[in-house]
Amino acid sequence: MGYSPKFVKTNYGTVELITPKNIPVGSFNPVELKIHIGKYGIDDGGHIKIAWPVSNPFGKPQFIKPDGENYTTVEISKKVNFNLQYDYAGYTRPFMPAITLTIYDGYLSEGDWIVFRIGDASKGSSGWRIQTYVEYDVLLKVVLDPFGTNLYQQLIDSPKLNIIPGSPSKISMITKSVVKVNENFWGIIRIEDKWGNISPGYSGEFILQINDNQISRFSVSLDNNGILRNEKLKIKEEGEFQLKVITNSIGEAYSNPIKVIKETEEKLLFWGDLHGQTNETVGSGTMEEYFLYGRDVAVLDFISHAANAFQVTKEIWNKLTQMIKDFHQPGKFITFLGYEWSGNPGAGGDHNVYYLNDDMPIHRCSHALIPDKTDLDSDRYPVSKLYDEFEGRDDVIIIPHIGGRRASLDVIDEKLTPFIEVASVHGHFEWFIEEAIERNLHVGFIASSDTHSCKPGNSYPVSKIEAVKSGITAVYANSLSREDLWKAFKAKNVYGTTGPRIIIHFSCENAIMGDYIQTSNKPKFNIEVNGSTGIEKVEVYRGNKIIYTKMGYDDKFNTKKIGIRWTGARIKNRRRNTDWSGSIEVEGGKIVEHQEYAFDLPWEGIYHHSETKLEFNSTTAGDFDGIIMTIDGNEQTIIKFNSLLINQEIRLNELTSVKSFDAGGIGQKLEFYPIPIDGYKSNLKFTFADFFPLSGKMGYHLRVIQQDGEKAWTSPIIVDYTG
Give the pLDDT score at 55. Answer: 87
Integer Cα distance of 64 and 71 in angstroms: 7
User: Among 516, 555, 407, 198, which Cα is nearest to 398's?
Assistant: 407
- Cα gap 96→62, rounded to integer Å: 16
Residues in the chain: 723
3-state SS of the chain: helix, strand, coil percent to 5?
A: 10, 45, 45
Go through the domains of the chain in sequence order and give each one's CATH number: 5-164 (2.60.40.680), 170-261 (2.60.40.10), 268-499 (3.20.20.140), 502-553+680-723 (2.60.40.10), 557-676 (2.60.40)
* Residue 150, pLDDT score: 94
> What is the pLDDT at residue 213?
84
Name every residue whose Cβ is closer than 8 Å to that of residue 707 and which is 6 or more positions away in sequence. 533, 534, 535, 536, 552, 679, 680
Instruction: Output phi, psi for 315, to 5 deg.
Output: -65, -45
Phi-psi region of 289 (alpha: psi -120 to 50; beta: other; left: phi over 0): alpha
Q: DSSP code of 276?
A: B
3-state secondary structure of 557: strand
pLDDT at 212: 81
Task: Give the CA count within 13 Å in the CB-facing half-sphere of 151.
Answer: 2
pLDDT recorded at residue 219: 83
Determine the Cα–Cα distance for residues 61 and 68; give it in Å rounded to an integer: 10
For residue range 164-215, what is the model confidence (pLDDT) as tens digits? 999 999 999 999 999 999 999 999 999 999 999 999 988 889 999 998 888 8
What residues in the chain have per-residue pLDDT under 70?
1, 224
Task: Quickly count helices (H) and strands (E) in the chain.
Answer: 6, 57
Cis omega (within 30 of 0) for bond into 94: yes
Measured from the Cβ of residue 391, the count of other Cβ atoms closer than 10 Å reads: 11
Do the bridges between strand 160-164 and strand 22-24 make them parallel or antiparallel, or are there none, so unpaired? Answer: parallel
CA 721/CA 523 separation, integer angstroms: 8
Q: Are 699 and 547 in contact (CB under 8 A)?
A: no
**pLDDT value at residue 463:** 85
